[in-house]
A and B are shown apart, each in its own frame.
Chain A
Amino acid sequence: MSGIVLLRFGESGKLQPSDALGNLDDMGTEPGITAPARVSAWTGFGRRFLQASTNGLVAPDRSGNGTLLQRDVTIQVLLSLTLAGASGAQTLIARGLNDGTAAERYAYGLELQEQANFPGFVEVRWFWQDETGAVKTQAPGVFRSPGDGVEIMLTATRRWESTSRVVVRYYVADELIAELVSPDGSLSGGTTGRTTIGARKAAGAYGRYLNGVIDELLVTDNEVSPEEIRHTWKRLTEYQPGGVETFAALTPPGSVWAQNLGNDIGKRVKIVGELLGLAVASAEELRALLLPDAAPLELVERWENICELSASPGDSLDVRRTRILSYLARDEGFQLAPLQIALAGPMALDPDRVQILEFTNTITDDFSTGIAAERWFDGGGAIWSTSRGQLQALAPAGADLRVESGATPFLLVSAEPGRLYVSARLGPGSLSTLPTDAFYGLVLHSRATNDWAWFGIVNSGGVPAVAYRTARAGSPGPFVTLDLPVTDGPSWIRIATPQRAVSIDDGRFTLSYSTTGPTTGFVDVRGPSRLGSDWSWAGLAITSLLSPVPSPIAVTFGDFVLHSGDSLRSYLWYAFREMKLAGRPDLVGADRLVKKIKPAYTYAAAISSKSVLCDDARDGLCDLGPMGAL
């Protein structure tokens, strides 16, 4: 953080207060405000602002727009209030005079007010103007007044995240009293704006005068963290008084001159003791704020450099801390539980809700839970549904399902070139309704070459038969029927390449058929010597040689198995965050963490969708392609 304005009010009563950081010119008065009197305060001297006396101060920037803060800002003030006799809102600071010009809009401001419905309770609230000039007063934090004249430390922070989201926090002492999210992210602020203290100017008239004493006031250009505020409070109330006590205790036993801190020697004792306490506080600050769980912004940047993490412009301090902690908390090796724990932070979930998706090179689907849209590619032309754990394909009478017409009534899952094994169950009860010249069974497809291969059951002129068919570059050949008995009970079919560890994808396939079970009773059938290669899709299909289809096709499938022996799926894993769950995840950070954790031979990513979602034409509009996350 960097201090922007620091008003100590320690000047002589004959001098105007000035900004210790030099960003404001000396503070003065103008018509509508009178100078506040110098009074004794906790740090030495402060200024007493009286509503009745219309006290206030105003100053232009000395540095060019040095106080113009339109994003993050923190205001910290040591003050005491006098609620007796006060009324209405009381301004601590306002950056801008709100004279109707864009140059004088409030960039930020902080005000106090005793609650009308709850006497003795005080609201503290931010205000600023948006780009239209409308004053946006924020929801307040509330605290109980400690009594008139009692000095306290008050801190308000503002974190701008977007034009529709600003996070404001309020603290008294070191205690967070409110954190609120505001939609008023359109922040204005004048390029020549002046800053007022103890009063606020609007439309040329001063008002909202403060009734209390400001001891010190600090404005910084960042959102000060709760840990920094806690440390400041401990410095003021623990370390520095402790230093004074320590130094006083070093005086000779029995001496009294150091016990009275109001006399000349005692004042020197106090000065030395305060400095001693300040040094202690610096050491304690290092201890309290060094590690990334409580590090302030500048240290978080260093931690990010150490961990080779990068932050996005809108990332809050909390998000950046969590990202670092997650990175440091990761375990070596690929273990699910530590992965979930490490990702719980950036994904804003309990660890057991972080889904780690892993894969094998075998895809099985019994359709017991419906048709997973992320997995299956529906070519259209047929209605695919599930009922009682069976996949049903339906095409109405009159439909055109011919390949020659460009119809693609299939349900495909992506396969990978190389060794292939695909099988499925057909029926039961499908043959009785299968129209003449209609087919149902397995299908392979290469989208690159527009090659097709079908293997299943065809009603060949009223005689159901096991058959296959191929198409090269979209030009289909005839169905080739095979001399095998076909029943209306369940049948199982499969297409398999040689499964040896070293295999050449030369188009050799074995077609098999069984009426016994999914793994038994298979009979290899006489197929073509070469069925084709580089099949990138496999699945289920219906089709017909006739157009239109004379009667509806209604067939069932089940027990689908696709095994790609040379698949890379085993080396993929994804950390999935269900976005329907509550929380504000940091998916960018989660993905970076995954990339850091993953073994080099794997591909991994943090994802929020199990489907590829790339609506942008730049990405090929590839929404239809499943990403293999099932």
Chain B
Amino acid sequence: MKRIPLVHLAHARSGDKGDVANIGVVAYTEDLYPLLVERVTVERVREHFGDWVEGEIERYELPNLWALNFVLHGALDGGGTVSLRTDAQGKVLSSALLRMEVEVPEDVALRVRGWGRVPLDWSPENP
């Protein structure tokens, strides 16, 4: 087993509704989805965000879309228009979640190495 950041296994998008935020986490390939189900649990996500999320966290499964949906209550410091944070609407809670480290088999770690991160030979003018 090897610990790698979730950013290599999944992409994500987050948004707000009042003081509730949601993060949709989507596996890059179908075979990675069961790993997300197993490793990206409510307990792990709660531990990851700590005090940053005040209320309950719920997780929903969308196996048809290789996705998990996390609903985070009290995640926005009072809500999108009240919060004093730069990210008042929770737009980057998605990338914040992808920092989380998960344990995966060695062969998976090898296969997904570099996924989710900009390639070394990239330039801002491309494509």
Answer yes or no: are A and B bound together in one complex.
no
B interface residues with partner A (beta carbon < 8 Å): none
